[in-house]
Amino acid sequence: MPLRGTTCLSLVKHRRFRAIGIPSCVGDCLGSDSGSNLSWKSDSLLSCRPWVRTPNRVGFFLLFSLKLSLILFICDTIAFPPQDKIRVPITEDPWELRSAPRTLSARIVSPSPLFTSNHHNQQHPLITIMLVFVTGASGFVGSQVVRRLLEKGHSVLALARSDVSAQKLEAQGIQVHRGNIEEPESLRSAVERADGVIHCAFNHENMATRFAQSAAEDLAATKFIGELLKGSNKPFIITHGLLVAKSGIELLETDAGESTGFAAIRAPSDRVMEELAHQCVRSMVVRLPPSVHGEGDKGFVPALIGIAKQKGVAAYVGDGSSHWAGVNVKDAAAAYVAALEKAPAGSRIHVVNSFTSMKEMAELIGRKTGLPVASIPSEKAGEHFGFFGHLVQIDLNISTTLTKKWTQWEPENGTLLEDMEKFYF
């Protein structure tokens, strides 16, 4: 690209170029051809003293040519950088470029769906190796998340609230941080040290009586972690559930979901995620289905089997057409890690690989246990299922279209019925 004479003359005479050994008189040796391209003034070249006053004219011109070539290269680079050499991430969120994770390679972050929907299909050109702080790391889901992180080359800093959990994690060669989500301050140093946070911990003890309290503790920990991450642009994954869906109505990733009744207990976590996405945190929510199934599950499916054995009947409500969503625990872990690596700020990740009717589940339980299968009316669901009386009547319809678009996640393991056959009896 030709260098404009005025630009070159200005730069050559600048003190920064004099500092590398080129005197300002060299500018007098340069002129412009019709005001555009650089040209020599041969009669001025010999007046550049004391440079020309040397016995070795050949050595002078060689040195002069090298230095001038350097000047022209710098001038060309500064004044007219080739556009094909400029790499600028396309984003409508300026705050995303203010900082990058403290990692081996800087991440180019996709724009948040809270601000724009034009770039959701962009894939990250770089996958960052991170130190990830995982809460609930010894739990059913969290332990699989830790395993998946390690498989993908990340390092893990795992939260342990008991000696047993700590020993279990250390035996796998995992770094342990002692603390408890019920005491958020105990999480501070781990959050500040990590490049990203995956929050899986939730107290599932005595769900029938303690669920609201556990949700309040989870919210307090979520807010505390979020405060520490503000302005960092680090990824922060919050765990949520798909029971925020309205029965029979498809829940999209762009939907906040229900905020009344049962769903209201966990709804504040979703709002925290949205607020943090506006405050330089790559926050996102992973929404898990009622059944995260697989070997070692102690959740809803074992509870339903226990109720059937206790009541002496494998029951379903009405015609049993309401559907429960499920995902294998290994697929759930893969979704967490894919979201950590690729999902944009403000995204909701729906983790589902199958929908199973309550009647199908009841029939499988009946066949495996030898119990009769029967329908019960809706008004008796609470009496029969207790805490689960409302949940078994929700007909879930969940979209995973945007989840797969943002993260390229695809489930690879068994469906709910397949895993029930394999692991639960």
- Whole-angstrom distance, CA of residue 75 vs CA of residue 27: 13
Higher local confidence (pLDDT), 352 or 5 = 352
User: pLDDT of 225-278, one tens digit each?
Assistant: 999 999 999 999 999 999 899 999 999 999 998 877 777 788 899 999 999 999
Encode 321-341: b = buried (16+ Cβ within 10 Å), e = exposed. ebbbbbbbbbbbbbbbbbbbb
Q: Which fold has domain 124-293+325-353+397-413?
A: Rossmann fold (3.40.50)
Residue 126 pLDDT grade (very low, low, confident, very high; cuts 50, 70, 90) = low
Mention every residue, 6+ apart, whose C-beta is less than 8 A from residue 217.
181, 182, 203
Higher local confidence (pLDDT), 112 or 413 = 413
pTM metric for this prediction: 0.72
- Whole-angstrom distance, CA of residue 388 vs CA of residue 374: 17
Q: Where do the domains of the chain lie?
A: 5-84, 124-293+325-353+397-413
Q: Exposed/middle/buried for 87, CB within 10 Å: 0-12, 13-18, 19+? A: exposed
* 253-257 CB contacts, 8 Å cutoff, 24+ apart: 253/113, 253/347, 253/348, 253/349, 253/350, 253/399, 253/400, 253/401, 253/402, 253/403, 254/113, 254/348, 254/402, 255/348
pLDDT of residue 108: 34
Residue 9 pLDDT grade (very low, low, confident, very high; cuts 50, 70, 90) = very low
Q: Is the pLDDT of residue 141 over 70?
A: yes
Of 198-207, 288-297, 309-318, least confident by mean pLDDT is: 198-207
Helical spans, DSSP H, in 283-357: 300-311, 329-342
Higher local confidence (pLDDT), 322 or 114 = 322
* Average pLDDT estimate for 268-296: 95
Backbone phi and psi for residue 326, each to the nearest 5 degrees, phi listed first: -145, 160
Of 93-102, 119-128, 143-152, 158-167, least confident by mean pLDDT is: 93-102
Q: Which helix (H) or strand (E) holds 368?
A: helix 358-369
pLDDT of residue 204: 78
* Average pLDDT estimate for 160-182: 94
